[in-house]
Chain A
């Protein structure tokens, strides 16, 4: 039954790819279509309000400046709200002001779509902060990522001088995708028992006569955008493991699909933009192959369980249940873990710190590769970056100028791609090393031995991949961790985004090379295999040593 339920979810996902990918294409193709009649009026009103009249196309620099400026302003507003939340409305539980370095970490975390949380929502944030900062940034950061991905796709698939208008993309991502979908999913989740209220924390007298406090709030409206926007920050400290956030297996499946469907549909959208659907499916299958390997490892490892626990003589046949919820069991937990780090959402329905060593290697590995579906748009950008790299390596081997989608790949693009690809391991491994050299860093470790190495490594990998899940035992709400992970999240998000917009800007201006019999095709199985090979080769070369020190060593020594 475990295998069956995972396959059902996978099948539904695959069925969603085509309709959703087509829909997204129509949203951003800027050709007239039926959707304009539904959304056009609202959008015209919004464009008037924000003072965008002509919506002329932007070059890559202007596009990058526009999204950076918008994000910067959102960060500034949010910082002020969190610091002043004690004086603002909707604060029935009387939460005080948030500490400065924690506020810095939180606003960076949410604007970069990471949602790493060094606070616990139920004990640190007012309902106003949950809504006006957390939910708001869950929308705006997802819309930003989506817009940049679409701009990149436009750049590498079309010829001209502009990547589109950032403000138009940003508005449409809200009005046509995130707001309507979030509203519908919110209501479905409430129907399935996720609370949505502005009442303060409840106090009840339990069956045994003790008093129990139950934190509650506007949970459902956060859950829906948390997953749709691949954000991942929980209303409560334990995120989607909390029975109010994720009360039953059905809500679990809805959450899995809502975080996974859009990233999975984007390669198809890319295929439509490239006027070559096969090209989209090649990218999709490369992602799916990698995903299936990760999912199998996670499920098998968790089902096999922890040998140290089995040795106690209990009935451990269910698998490793430490840190997991009974309603989800092993299958729904393993699937959720594999999807949340593939889609770089970072929401968790079980505690990743308690995963078996190889089970914990799965989320870590997916975030290190950062191309298995990926968050709002970023995964597709990264995968296409590897596609260009694969083309380049193949071109070198046969001695031809590499081409991708009919454009010549030249030194300028390869330099930018090298920067983007090398930045990721750099901002993971260097801070990890620094953390181990100072008491401020390794003092936060709570699990002894090799697992402690994984805890620190996971925190920075999650920050760099803009995932946001954690090996949550780590005592990370200190100025050292708040500032260091804050910076890693910033670099992780913006370096690759800007570099890839620059690549798009440069490819867009090139003459297309006519396709001949000697053209190296990028829309067939061979290329899918080469793509997977390139991803694994680069990933293994950079991360194998540190993985051996953490999860592998723990696996080999656990008896």
Chain B
């Protein structure tokens, strides 16, 4: 290539190796070490609560989880979250990854419906929202749809003795709107809702 005629060929050949080497090392340090560490420092200084994982405490000040991470509620007196193939173990994350035509998807859902019928004899299956008996993408979904909370009220009222009206108000109070009024769907944080329920029950 004649445009490089003036260069010393030896130094040019050498720099063809040294420059990529030096640029690689330098940007490994800038992007791989300085950037994340400076980000961590700045984030913890400006937003300590969020940076630490938005942990949430009960009335006694005990940390009971993160408001972003769903929990498993086995006792039917609590509002239940969505199906989780990893049982809300947040050391990992994941779902069954069942394709739409996979018979295992239908089997799992049919089993969920049977379990629902046993625990909620007063609510017809036709009112059971699909979101409640499907596996979330992360297996850690902290939310259910407002409808999914409402259909559980009859069961919880019967088991705890709290009037349905009180529970309905509780769900309405904990229904979060769309972000900026536009984005996403309305939702209820199950852990926060159950914390409020536990406060009412005086536990």
Known: A122-B92, A250-B180. A202 touches B53 (CB 8 A): yes
- Measured CA separation A440–B127 after assembly (Å): 45
Given A133, A253, A308, which contacts B32 in the complex, CB threshold below 8 Å? A133
Q: Does B93 contact A (CB under 8 A)?
A: yes
Q: What residues on B are CB-neighbors of A413 within 8 Å?
A: none
Q: Does B120 contact A (CB under 8 A)?
A: no
Given B30, B47, B89, which contacts A212 in the complex, CB threshold below 8 Å? B89
Structural contact, A472 and B97, CB atoms closer than 8 A: yes
Structural contact, B53 and A244, CB atoms closer than 8 A: yes
Known: A123-B91, A446-B97. A193 touches B40 (CB 8 A): no
Known: A323-B135, A325-B138. A122 touches B93 (CB 8 A): yes
Q: Does B202 contact A (CB under 8 A)?
A: no
Structural contact, A448 and B102, CB atoms closer than 8 A: yes
Q: What residues on B are CB-neighbors of A308 within 8 Å?
A: 100-101, 105-106
Given A250, A313, A450, which contacts B101 in the complex, CB threshold below 8 Å? A450
Q: Does B179 contact A (CB under 8 A)?
A: yes
CB within 8 Å of B: which of A161-205?
161-162, 167, 170-171, 174, 179, 182-183, 186-187, 190-199, 201-202, 204-205
Structural contact, B23 and A136, CB atoms closer than 8 A: no
Q: Which of B3, B19, B93, B136 is the most central at the interface, judged by chain A CB atoms within 10 Å of its CB? A: B93
- Measured CA separation A545–B15 after assembly (Å): 50
Q: Mark B93-136, 1 if CB is under 8 A from A, else 0.
A: 11111111111011001100100000000000111111101111
Q: What residues on A are CB-neighbors of B125 within 8 Å?
A: 313-314
Q: Give the B interface residue count (CB, 8 A).
A: 108
Q: Does A355 contact B (CB under 8 A)?
A: yes
CB within 8 Å of B: which of A203-223?
204-208, 210, 212-216, 218, 220-222
Q: Does A276 contact B (CB under 8 A)?
A: no
Question: In the complex, how many angstroms separate the beta carbon of B41 from the nearest chain A beta carbon?
Answer: 9
Known: A220-B39, A236-B93, A448-B103. A77 touches B53 (CB 8 A): no
- Measured CA separation A325–B140 after assembly (Å): 9
Across the interface, name the chain A residue whose C-beta is closest to B116. Answer: A314
Q: Does A422 contact B (CB under 8 A)?
A: no
Structural contact, A190 and B51, CB atoms closer than 8 A: yes
Q: Does A26 contact B (CB under 8 A)?
A: no
Question: In the complex, how many angstroms separate the beta carbon of B67 from the nearest chain A beta carbon?
Answer: 8
Structural contact, B89 and A213, CB atoms closer than 8 A: yes
Q: Does B178 contact A (CB under 8 A)?
A: yes
Structural contact, A191 and B136, CB atoms closer than 8 A: no
Question: In the complex, how many angstroms separate the beta carbon of B35 from the nearest chain A beta carbon?
Answer: 7
- Measured CA separation A205–B5 after assembly (Å): 72
Q: Which of A51, A325, A326, A351 is the most central at the interface, judged by chain B CB atoms within 10 Å of its CB? A: A326
Q: What residues on B are CB-neighbors of A473 within 8 Å?
A: 96-99
Structural contact, B106 and A312, CB atoms closer than 8 A: yes
Q: Does B22 contact A (CB under 8 A)?
A: yes
Given B23, B74, B126, B187, which contacts A315 in the complex, CB threshold below 8 Å? B126
Structural contact, A205 and B101, CB atoms closer than 8 A: no
Q: What residues on A are CB-neighbors of B16 within 8 Å?
A: 65-66, 69
Structural contact, A327 and B46, CB atoms closer than 8 A: no
Question: In the complex, how many angstroms separate the beta carbon of B46 from the nearest chain A beta carbon?
Answer: 7
- Measured CA separation A252–B88 after assembly (Å): 22
- Measured CA separation A195–B49 after assembly (Å): 9
Known: A183-B35, A351-B97, A447-B98. A326 touches B144 (CB 8 A): yes
Q: Does A95 contact B (CB under 8 A)?
A: no
Q: What residues on A are CB-neighbors of B179 within 8 Å?
A: 248-250, 253
Structural contact, A70 and B24, CB atoms closer than 8 A: yes
Q: Does B155 contact A (CB under 8 A)?
A: no
Q: Does B66 contact A (CB under 8 A)?
A: yes
CB within 8 Å of B: which of A453-470?
454-455
Q: Does A135 contact B (CB under 8 A)?
A: yes
Structural contact, A191 and B47, CB atoms closer than 8 A: yes
Q: What residues on A are CB-neighbors of B157 within 8 Å?
A: none
Structural contact, A325 and B137, CB atoms closer than 8 A: yes
Q: Does B172 contact A (CB under 8 A)?
A: no
Structural contact, A354 and B99, CB atoms closer than 8 A: yes
Known: A322-B98, A326-B82. A204 touches B64 (CB 8 A): yes
Q: Does B160 contact A (CB under 8 A)?
A: no
Q: Does B75 contact A (CB under 8 A)?
A: yes
Structural contact, A207 and B194, CB atoms closer than 8 A: yes
Q: Mark A338-366, 1 if CB is under 8 A from B, else 0.
A: 00000000001111011111000000000
- Measured CA separation A241–B136 after assembly (Å): 9
Known: A314-B113, A325-B141. A447 touches B101 (CB 8 A): yes
Q: Does A46 contact B (CB under 8 A)?
A: yes
Structural contact, B46 and A249, CB atoms closer than 8 A: no
Q: What residues on A are CB-neighbors of B140 within 8 Å?
A: 242-243
Across the interface, name the chain B residue whose C-beta is closest to A244. Answer: B68
Question: In the complex, how many angstroms separate the beta carbon of A547 from the nearest chain B beta carbon?
Answer: 16
Q: Does A401 contact B (CB under 8 A)?
A: no
Known: A123-B91, A323-B135, A473-B97. A214 touches B24 (CB 8 A): no
CB within 8 Å of B: which of A407-456?
446-451, 454-455
Given B28, B103, B182, B184, which contacts A327 in the complex, CB threshold below 8 Å? B184
Known: A136-B32, A205-B62, A207-B195. A554 touches B100 (CB 8 A): yes
CB within 8 Å of B: which of A261-317?
305-306, 308-309, 312-317
Structural contact, B47 and A190, CB atoms closer than 8 A: yes
Across the interface, name the chain B residue whose C-beta is closest to A315. Answer: B129
Q: Mark A371-396, 1 if CB is under 8 A from B, else 0.
A: 00000000000000000000000000
Q: Does A404 contact B (CB under 8 A)?
A: no
Please give 12 more A-B residue pairs, beta carbons under 8 A apart, in addition to A122-B92, A215-B91, A328-B185.
A49-B26, A131-B37, A140-B24, A191-B50, A196-B43, A207-B58, A213-B91, A253-B183, A314-B113, A320-B100, A447-B102, A471-B97
**Closest A-B pairs by Cβ, 5 of them:** A249-B184, A473-B97, A136-B32, A329-B185, A241-B137
Report which A residues bind B (CB closer than 8 A). 1, 4-5, 8, 46, 49-52, 56-57, 59, 61-62, 65-66, 69-70, 72-74, 77, 120, 122-123, 131-133, 135-136, 138-140, 161-162, 167, 170-171, 174, 179, 182-183, 186-187, 190-199, 201-202, 204-208, 210, 212-216, 218, 220-222, 225, 236-238, 241-244, 247-250, 252-253, 305-306, 308-309, 312-329, 331-332, 348-351, 353-357, 446-451, 454-455, 471-473, 554, 557-558
A/B interface sample: 26 pairs, CB < 8 A: A50-B22, A66-B20, A77-B25, A135-B35, A139-B35, A183-B42, A187-B43, A187-B47, A205-B64, A207-B194, A214-B90, A220-B43, A221-B35, A225-B31, A243-B69, A250-B179, A313-B126, A315-B127, A318-B131, A320-B100, A321-B130, A326-B185, A331-B184, A447-B97, A455-B99, A472-B94
Report which B residues bind A (CB closer than 8 A). 1, 3-4, 15-28, 30-33, 35-40, 42-44, 46-47, 50-55, 58, 62-66, 68-75, 78, 82, 88-103, 105-106, 109-110, 113, 125-131, 133-145, 147, 178-180, 182-185, 187, 191, 194-195, 198
